[in-house]
Structure 1
Amino acid sequence: MYDLTGFQRDLLYVIAGQDEPHGLAIKEKLEDYYEKEIHHGRLYPNLDTLVDKALVEKGTLDRRTNSYTLTRRGQRELEARREWEAQYVGGLLSES
């Protein structure tokens, strides 16, 4: 997880939070979060990187639409990241 960009980590979180989302659904969620347009030229190469790193699996919904799911490794990496984050911000979140 240390070698991912923040954007790639955000992609993992969005994919984990949905049931086999397709690229445009992921794009919409990230645009809501970032409050700006996410270009296809940024989205799809980063999704491909996550697939290449075996963190995400790409499936096919139809001839033109791919779906994305976390692999077991991707799930483990997200869990490890959340545990690491909790060391530093866990107390802040429970105080809110």
Structure 2
Amino acid sequence: MHDLTGFQRDLLYVIAGSDDPHGLAIKDELEEYYEKEIHHGRLYPNLDTLVEKGLVEKGQRDRRTNYYTLTRRGQREIDARNDWEAQYISLEVEA
């Protein structure tokens, strides 16, 4: 995951936290998080990069709508990133 941009990493997390989201659903989630518009020219090339890297699979719902699913490799990358972050950040829950 070290070779991904922060935006690509965020895409991966949104896909992992959703049930086969389509592009516009991913876009909506990121716009809410970033509090600004995400242009199609930024979104779809980055999704295609994740597909090319084998982290995400792209399927087709209908002629106009694609959906995205995390691959096993994508899940392993997220797990590895979480393990790496845990070395530096302690996430303790207060009672």
- Common fold: TM-score over 0.5: yes
Match of 1:40 in 2: 40
- Report % sequence identity: 79
Match of 1:94 in 2: 92
Match of 2:22 in 1: 22
Instruction: Give the Cα–Cα distance (whole angstroms) in 2 for the partners of residues 77 and 55 of structure 1.
Output: 8
Residue 19 of structure 1: SS of its match in structure 2? coil
Instruction: Give the Cα–Cα distance (whole angstroms) in 1 for the partners of residues 64 and 93 of structure 2.
Output: 46
Aligned length: 94
Residue 94 of structure 1: SS of its match in structure 2? coil
Counterpart amino acid of 1:27? K
Q: Summarize deviations over 1:66-90 as a string: whole Å, max 9, x none.
A: 000000000000000001011111x
Residue 38 of structure 1: SS of its match in structure 2? coil
Q: Which has the higher helix share?
A: 1
Instruction: Give the Cα–Cα distance (whole angstroms) in 2 for the partners of residues 40 and 63 of structure 1.
Output: 18
Match of 2:10 in 1: 10
Normalising by structure 1, report the TM-score: 0.95
Normalising by structure 2, report the TM-score: 0.96
Q: Summarize deviations over 1:26-55 as a string: whole Å, max 9, x none.
A: 000000000000000000000000000000
* Runs of 4 or more above 2 Å deviation: none
Alignment gaps of 5+ in structure 1: none
